Amino acid sequence: MYDTEVTVVGAGVVGLAVAARLAASGHKVLVLEKREGFGLETSSRNSQVIHAGINDPPDSLKARLCVEGRSMLYQLCQAHSVGNRRLGKMVVASTEDEVPRLEVMCARGQANGVDDLRLLTRREVAVLEPNVRAVAALLSPSTGVVDAWALMRLFAAQARDRGATLAFHSEVVGLGPAGEGWRVSVLEPEGAFTFQSRTVVNCAGLWSDHIAALAGIDVDQAGYRLHYCKGEFFAFTPRPDTRLDHLVYPTPEVDAAGLGIHTIQDVEGVSRLGPSIEYVDRLDYQVDVSHREAFLQAARRYLPGLEEADLSPDFAGIRPKLAGPGEGFRDFIIRHEADRGLPGLVNLVGIESPGLTASPAIARHVAGLLQELEAR
């Protein structure tokens, strides 16, 4: 009756994790990706941090799936030799006024189930990170970094080995209910075609609101409208007075759209500063070199040895944000749309950070939603 059982729209880290998970439970899965390969958008344009789960409010999907995803991710990395480094993260207070916010962050992390957090004194910070200037810090030992490409290669290989098909240059341009399933229209270089799928999982990242709209959802009424929020990165080559062993973050502003300009290192040891926050109205991944000074000033609050000449423009990513400028916290939307009269459609919208960390847990969550559908 159907050409395929599950159609996953989008082959970023989330779509690939979902495909691998659903194929493992015996589903016939087709992944449609409009680009020439997987992972060419947000999933390869991020900090690659395995977050511990201290940034989001207790009981949110972001917090829960981050904590679950982090532990699943470290297990996957170990079992399949995916590059990762458990560097630990220090969130530093530059002034005494910031210390209460660190304490709130610590309590929030503990409420989320992060059980290894520790507040550090100025002296302890100086011992662990002699190049950092701070009056106190919050240490999160289980924060780390992962090779996002290697992780996506793993999910893609798992999906294919379990029988899933990954189709590139395949853009979903139409979506509508048909009988008990879905009619999916696809544009490929050779032309357009339509097929029937029992269910559709929308993992289209920056375009996920557009896919929801194709399915007939009023995205403004549903609260699905995405805002693009750009984050730029500058690379730096550490010198003896800017070398770091941990990921070092400033204390974030209350209700800020991001975590502040922090230092990261990837699995190969490349050091970067970023990401910045700039709401934009189009997708443009250029890094504006004139932003170097702002990066320098932000980072010198806690890493005073940095010099302007150390920083070189690197890359940018764009966050698919549900919250517009100045708006408060918005959670991930991961929703089976049966109650809108659209059974068999699962939308994932606003999968910004910690979406990479959470990806295996998101996949498990989606599998649970589809299981409920099958049990009806």
Ligand X SMILES: Cc1cc2nc3c(=O)[nH]c(=O)nc-3n(C[C@H](O)[C@H](O)[C@H](O)COP(=O)(O)OP(=O)(O)OC[C@H]3O[C@@H](n4cnc5c(N)ncnc54)[C@H](O)[C@@H]3O)c2cc1C
- Nearer to ligand X (CB atom), residue 198 or residue 262: 262
Q: Establish if 68 lies at the interface with ligand X (CB under 6 A).
A: no
Q: Residue 89 carries which side chain, given as an amino acid letter?
A: K
Residue from 3, 5, 124, 171 binding ligand X (CB under 6 A):
171
Shortest distance, position 171 Cβ to ligand X, whole Å: 4
CB 14 within 8 A of CB 359: yes
Shortest distance, position 364 Cβ to ligand X, whole Å: 15
Q: Residue 237 carries which side chain, given as an amino acid letter?
A: T
Is the link from the previous residue into 275 a cis peptide, with omega within 30 of 0?
A: yes
Residue from 250, 252, 344, 355 binding ligand X (CB under 6 A):
355
> For helices 355-375 and 61-80, what crossing angle results, to 10°?
100
Candidate ranges 4-12, 57-65, 86-94, 104-112; the one touching ligand X (CB under 6 A): 4-12
- Nearer to ligand X (CB atom), residue 102 or residue 200: 200
Interface map 19-58 toward ligand X (x if CB under 6 A): -------------xxxx----xxxx-xxxxx-x-------
Q: Establish if 140 lies at the interface with ligand X (CB under 6 A).
A: no
CB 162 within 8 A of CB 23: yes
Shortest distance, position 119 Cβ to ligand X, whole Å: 23
Residues of this chain, 227-266, that bind ligand X according to CB under 6 A: 231
Interface map 87-126 toward ligand X (x if CB under 6 A): ----------------------------------------
Chain centre to alpha carbon of residue 226: 15
The residue length of the chain stands at: 376
Q: Establish if 206 lies at the interface with ligand X (CB under 6 A).
A: yes
Residue from 7, 8, 10, 136 binding ligand X (CB under 6 A):
10
Can you name the residues that pair with 235 across neighbouring β-strands?
A: 272, 312
Q: Establish if 350 lies at the interface with ligand X (CB under 6 A).
A: no
Distance (Å, whole) CA 371 – CA 376: 9
Shortest distance, position 41 Cβ to ligand X, whole Å: 4
- What would the DSSP string read from start to end of 126-190? HHH-TT---SEEEEETT-EEE-HHHHHHHHHHHHHHTT-EEESS-EEEEEEEETTEEEEEEEETT
- Nearer to ligand X (CB atom), residue 262 or residue 292: 262
Residues of this chain, 281-320, that bind ligand X according to CB under 6 A: 317-319
Shortest distance, position 135 Cβ to ligand X, whole Å: 26
Can you name the residues that pair with 4 across neighbouring β-strands?
A: 197
Candidate ranges 294-302, 339-347, 351-359, 364-372; the one touching ligand X (CB under 6 A): 351-359
Q: How far is the CA of 175 from the CAs of 190, 195, 340, in angstroms?
A: 20, 10, 15
Distance (Å, whole) CA 319 – CA 267: 22
Q: Establish if 18 lies at the interface with ligand X (CB under 6 A).
A: no
Residue from 181, 205, 344, 350 binding ligand X (CB under 6 A):
205
Question: Residues interacting with ligand X, by CB under 6 A?
Answer: 9-15, 32-35, 40-43, 45-49, 51, 171-172, 203-207, 211, 231, 275, 317-319, 351-357
